[in-house]
Structure 1
Amino acid sequence: MASSRKARLYGGMDAEERRAERRLKLIDAAIEVYGEVGYRAATVKAICEAAELTERYFYESFANSEALLIAAYNHVVDHLHEEMAAAAASGGDDAELRLRAALTLYFTRLKEHPKPARVFLLEITGISPAVDAVTLDASRAFSDILVPPARDPKRSDKGTTATLLSTGMVGAVISIARRWVSKHYPQPLEEVAAIAASFCRVALAEADRRRDLHSV
């Protein structure tokens, strides 16, 4: 059994670990290539060359280019949301501090990493219904970072007005970010974060007002 295990190892990794490493290389290369030329102009060949892998390894991990785009998007978003959640947590129970910390982190990372920002905001739009569904899920996660569901348990109901307000809030933030990134960051980061926060406050105030009316 030990000799069989040894035969499967190469460079300290087994076959599954090597496959995962190749997949991550392709994702990193895709983010780089999409950031340079855009998703629609990117080719499988160019991405494989950037990853220093042959094309057969592309199809080992991805059915097509759209599947790689989704994987690249999720890779960027998951890391960004993880950092945003940590920033929000630093604000404790203070909703205003949580909001400002999360949004400041968000816009900071977009400016620090323009290529992933392009994938996250610009290259993901108008591709297909499957891609749209992935971005919708990400928007829900974004909303939960800015306003934890515990703030309003009813918000878990997808049909509530509060959910519509939170969707609009996130949409406003993303629209501001998309414009800022596409124009190559013309306004100071602090100003952009403050403007985004002001939209969030309006949505949150309206959600609170409606909840108070219904509780009377």
Structure 2
Amino acid sequence: MTDKTISPRGYRGASLEQRRAQRRQCLIDAAIEVYGGVGYRHAGVKQVCEAAGLTQRYFYESFSHSDELLIACYEQATQRVREHNMAAAEAAGSDPVRRSRAMLDAYFQLLKDEPHMARLLLVEIRGISPAVDRAIEAALRASTADMTRALALSGRQFDGMLQAGVLGGVIHIALHWMATGYAAPVATVTETALKLGAALLN
């Protein structure tokens, strides 16, 4: 695990709010590694704080309980994935099929490159609490909006039910791939998922 400990030197000249923000980010970074490594249900506040190099009192400076930290981790990770995917779409040009392939390729490659984050996003987040479920629904809505913005031709709207099915199908392909230890090449997984995406683009 990468050492996330914040050196006291990093606080020199920083305001109180900046120091709090640094400690909060350190906890989020450590929690993604811990939750993605041993599982959310098997990790406590103490374990996350040890990984972050912080005492437990700093945990409660930013979070009232572990679910809040889990949500913060999830929201930050999903934002990163969304930005990563949209950047890939923009770089692919204007053709919707090329954009779709680029987004899927970027998504699956990121999951493979960062398996702890992938586990957090797709496995550990499920069935925790209503608040966590609301965070998942918000992330899915945001991803759906990204899909429309990146792939729909000007003035066109995708069928909402079909779009939800495609997004869910891509997630289940990712889960199956993860369960096999990422055995298939990224390109193969991308092409498989692209068959689902074709339903939207036809």
Q: Distance in 2 between matches of 1:135 and 1:151?
A: 27
SS in 2 for 1:31: helix
Structure 2 match to 1:69: 70
2:165 to 153, 161, 168: 168
- 1:184 aligned onto 2:181: yes
Is the contact made by 2:31 and 2:70 (CA closer than 8 Å) also made in structure 1? yes
Structure 2 match to 1:7: none
The CA deviation at 1:91 is 2.4
Structure 1 match to 2:51: 50
SS in 2 for 1:147: helix
The CA deviation at 1:153 is 5.2
Ranked by relative contact order (alpha carbons within 8 Å, sequence separation 6 or more), the top structure is 2
- Cα distance change, pair 152–173 in 1 and its aligned pair in 2 (3 A): farther
Q: Distance in 1 between matches of 2:159 and 2:80?
A: 27
TM-score, normalised by the number of residues in structure 2: 0.89
What letter is aligned with 1:140?
Answer: R
Structure 2 match to 1:27: 28
Q: Distance in 1 between matches of 2:141 and 2:90?
A: 18
Is the contact made by 1:98 and 1:146 (CA closer than 8 Å) also made in structure 2? no
List aligned pairs for 1:16-165, cutoff 5 A.
Answer: 16-148=17-149, 151=153, 155=157, 162-165=159-162
Task: Please give the per-residue CA displacement for 1:58-100, whole angstroms capped at 9, x wherever unaligned.
Answer: 0110111111001011111111111111101112321011100
SS in 1 for 2:124: coil
Q: Distance in 2 between matches of 1:29 and 1:103?
A: 27
Q: Distance in 1 between matches of 2:155 and 2:128?
A: 34
| Aligned CA-pair RMSD | 1.7
The count of residues paired between Structure 1 and Structure 2 equals 191
Is the contact made by 1:143 and 1:170 (CA closer than 8 Å) also made in structure 2? yes
Q: Distance in 2 between matches of 1:141 and 1:106?
A: 15
- Percent identical pairs in the alignment equals 46
Deviates more, 1:119-128 or 1:177-186: 177-186
Runs (5+) with no aligned partner, structure 2: 1-10
Structure 2 match to 1:6: none
SS in 2 for 1:148: helix
SS in 2 for 1:40: helix
The CA deviation at 1:179 is 1.6
Please say which structure displays the higher CA radius of gyration.
1
TM-score, normalised by the number of residues in structure 1: 0.83
Runs (5+) with no aligned partner, structure 1: 1-9, 156-160, 206-216
Q: Distance in 2 between matches of 1:105 and 1:92?
A: 15
Runs of 4+ in 1 over 3 A off after TM superposition: 149-155
The CA deviation at 1:196 is 0.7
Is the contact made by 1:44 and 1:65 (CA closer than 8 Å) also made in structure 2? yes
